Amino acid sequence: MKKLFLCTCNGTLNKLLDFTKIGKEVKALYDVVEVVDNLCLEEGLTKLEKGLSEDDRLAIGACSSQIIGVPMKQRIKNDLVTFVPLREQVGWVHVEEKESATNKAIVLLSDASVQLDHMESPTEFTESVVDRVLVMGGGIAGLKAASDLHRLGVEVTLLEPSGQNNERYLQTSVFMSDTDTLINELQAIQKTLKKVERFEGTFGEVTGQTGSYDVTLNGVNGNEKIREYGAIIVASGNQQYLPRSAKKMRHGKSERVVTLDSLMSRLKKKRAKESSTILVAVDFDAPMFSVEGSHLLRSTRNLATRGYTIIVVHSDIRTEDENLYREARDSGVIFIRGKVTRIRENEKGLTCRIENTLESMEREVIADLVAIPQMVGPVNETALLADKLGVDCDNNGFIRTRYSKMKPVQTSRRGIFVAGGAKMPMSLSDAMASAQNAVLEAFKVVRSPLTRSGWIPVIDDEQCDVCKACLEACPNDALRLMDDRIVHVPAHCEFCGICVSACPTRAIEFQSHRKESWFARFEAVATTHRRLEGKKPFSFVFACSECANASIDQAGFAGKQYGTGSYVIQFPCAGMVSPIEILKGLVVGAEHVIVAHCPPGGCHHQTGDHLSELVVSFTRDMLREIGQDPERVQATYMIAAMPEKMQKEVPVRG
């Protein structure tokens, strides 16, 4: 049966909307319509639970699904549920127009009823999983990841570059912390790795998907083997290199010009003889990672406390620990904001000309030594490695993660994670934390039987022309060509529906969101709107279920009012919208169709923001050509932090 539960939100929503009218208007659409006072509280939830049987289709007219969805999930198991946020997207944003707001609620509930008619049971699928993880090491985070996995009882292979040893680990991690801590940490981890399989060499081909990747391992002595892994952690670490300005600083020409790290190891714990002056010339133009800054401050403080006169010439110094800066100053390090423009060598030492950018004046300093802090970057092989793994790199050549805040270790390919410096230079503690994080994610992959369920794209081979448009469009490698057929790999799928929007033949359709379902819904909205509101114009907002929908909910919380004739239709991802849905929206009578997506680069499915812009611009081109006003169709981004977006984008009239 099809049931509708309306919530008065503790007797408030029924003051903003005419519940009697709503009840009367939607009675014919649902088998049961029930009004509850507090659906989110025990009393309401019990009522819901009692009033439902397992195979009922259910519409909830209450607050945002983000709120009511959570307690509901724990209480009821029904698959076929839709939420109509009557509070955030109707009552709260149309407070001054009770009648129109009520009509809008009726329109949305009619849409929900049609949506329920087209809803299909989610598909369940199970994938086989290999309980073994490959750590592509090289950085200290790799050691940590291997060690943690081993401790969790997961079989692990630690792949290390040829010739890797403790000294090399130390050398490439020197910027991450003070040396003693580093040495202790390294020794402690190495001890735990006694029983871990270590493999010296590189890797070749990587095929398969999350849960079972086949990796070709190439050993240093020419042996090659193919192993299966459920997940892969990339922890190739960092490499240090000289900044561009080093040559100008006479590095390599003068014996008195050295890197800061080599100076540190040369001076070991020696105290300064007399007063020797060391000028530290930081590259003026290269941006600094905060670990680099911390390392610079630690090193210079160390030297200053041993009696050397230290002058640091720098642009911006970034550090994650303000204390380091204070301590360096207190130990006598002199900081000059500026740029070393010339160095001359004579018998007295090095005459360095410094251009002070703050006071815009020049001065000369005579130093015994010039030290150049090295910069930290990804190891040389990172680009090649990323290519072989099929994951993306960022502009600096580090492995790119999906969205650094929400999924800080997830690369662009499922089941492949990144830990430590391969993502960006990190302090020792951050690298350790990121290794733990990656281990956790890898553990989740190899230990959970990959049973998931959801609405998936289904392919009709009979209908398919194997044009590969879907395959090109899928951002997750979840569609593949096998024996001249398109095969869906659910383990990789994020259910974004981007593939569906690319298909010219309709051989691929998304469960519950088939084209005919969208069409029926748009028509239901249009006819109900016309019945209640007559000729008043209306618009569709095709909103992605992530940022855009959150922004529209936020508009409710912030009381940012907008026109009532605006009907939000949720798409899993804005990338699922094709010109067909947009044009259909216009054909059923909408004055405007607005496609709202996540901010540029912020799409939860990687490409939806960009693709929806392309689709909209293409649709606008078509409209212009056939003599229609292209301004009727717009694409825009919306984010929760900008609740006023909806107000701005929705034309006032409808």
Partner 1 sequence: MDKRERLIQKLRNIAVQTPTAILEVPEKVEGFGSIKYRPEPCSVCKKCIEACEVEALDIDFTVQLPAYLDATIPEGGFRSKNRETLISLLQTLKGEGDVQAISVPTGLAGYGSVVWFTEKCIACNKCVEACPEDCLDLEKQYDLPTIIGDVVTPPSISITEWEPFIICFVCWECSHAAADLAGLMHLHYPANIRTVRVPCSGAVEPIQIMTAMENGVDGVLVTGCLLSECHYGGDDPLAGNFMQQDFVHFWQSVFEEIGLGGRLHIDFASAAMGIRFTEIVTEFVERIKKIGPSPLRGKLEVES
Closest CA to 591 of 529, 543, 640, 532: 529
The contact pattern for partner 1, residues 611-650, with x = CB under 8 A and - = no contact, is x--xx-xx--xxx-xxxx----------------------
The contact pattern for ligand SF4, residues 500-539, with x = CB under 6 A and - = no contact, is --xx-x-xx-------------------------------
* 463 in contact with partner 1 (CB under 8 A): yes
| Structure-token match 């509070």, residue found | 87
C-beta of 469 vs 639, nearer to partner 1: 469
The continuous run of DSSP H or E covering 389 comes out as helix 382-389
Interacting partner of 615 out of partner 1, ligand SF4, none (Cβ under 5 to 8 A depending on kind): partner 1
Distance CA 353, CA 355 (A): 7
Interacting partner of 496 out of partner 1, ligand SF4, none (Cβ under 5 to 8 A depending on kind): ligand SF4
Distance CA 331, CA 325 (A): 10
The footprint of ligand SF4 on residues 467-486 (CB under 6 A) is 467-470, 474, 476, 478-479, 486
Q: How far is CA 85 from the centre of its chain?
A: 26
Q: Are 534 and 506 in contact (CB under 8 A)?
A: no
Least Å distance, CB 571 to partner 1, is 16
Task: Using CB under 8 A, pick the residue from 587, 631, 641, 653 that binds partner 1.
Answer: 587
C-beta of 163 vs 627, nearer to partner 1: 627
Burial of 347 (0-12, 13-18, 19+ CB in 10 A): exposed
C-beta of 86 vs 498, nearer to ligand SF4: 498
Amino acid at 138: G
* 127 in contact with ligand SF4 (CB under 6 A): no
* 36 in contact with partner 1 (CB under 8 A): no
Distance CA 367, CA 85 (A): 70
Least Å distance, CB 3 to partner 1, is 33
Distance CA 63, CA 89 (A): 8
Q: Are 362 and 355 in contact (CB under 8 A)?
A: yes
Amino acid at 244: R
Distance CA 417, CA 433 (A): 14
C-beta of 224 vs 465, nearer to ligand SF4: 465
φ and ψ at residue 238, rounded to 5 degrees: -120, 175
Interacting partner of 359 out of partner 1, ligand SF4, none (Cβ under 5 to 8 A depending on kind): none
Q: What Å distances lie between residue 50 and 46, 53, 75, CA to CA?
A: 6, 8, 10
C-beta of 584 vs 597, nearer to partner 1: 584
C-beta of 264 vs 459, nearer to partner 1: 459
The continuous run of DSSP H or E covering 207 comes out as strand 197-209
* 603 in contact with ligand SF4 (CB under 6 A): no
Q: What Å distances lie between residue 81 and 49, 76, 112, 279, CA to CA?
A: 13, 10, 9, 68
* 544 in contact with ligand SF4 (CB under 6 A): no
Task: Using CB under 8 A, pick the residue from 32, 242, 272, 469 that binds partner 1.
Answer: 469
Closest CA to 509 of 587, 418, 578, 441: 578
Least Å distance, CB 403 to ligand SF4, is 16
The footprint of partner 1 on residues 174-233 (CB under 8 A) is none
Closest CA to 295 of 434, 164, 169, 425: 425
Distance CA 375, CA 378 (A): 10
Interacting partner of 457 out of partner 1, ligand SF4, none (Cβ under 5 to 8 A depending on kind): ligand SF4
C-beta of 73 vs 624, nearer to partner 1: 624
Stretch that binds partner 1, among 73-81, 344-352, 374-382, 610-618 (CB under 8 A): 610-618
Least Å distance, CB 464 to partner 1, is 9
Distance CA 192, CA 189 (A): 5
* 465 in contact with ligand SF4 (CB under 6 A): yes
Residues that bind ligand SF4 (CB under 6 A): 457, 459, 464-470, 474, 476, 478-479, 486, 488, 493-499, 502-503, 505, 507-508
Residues that bind partner 1 (CB under 8 A): 463, 465-470, 472-473, 502-506, 515, 578-580, 583-584, 586-587, 610-611, 614-615, 617-618, 621-623, 625-628
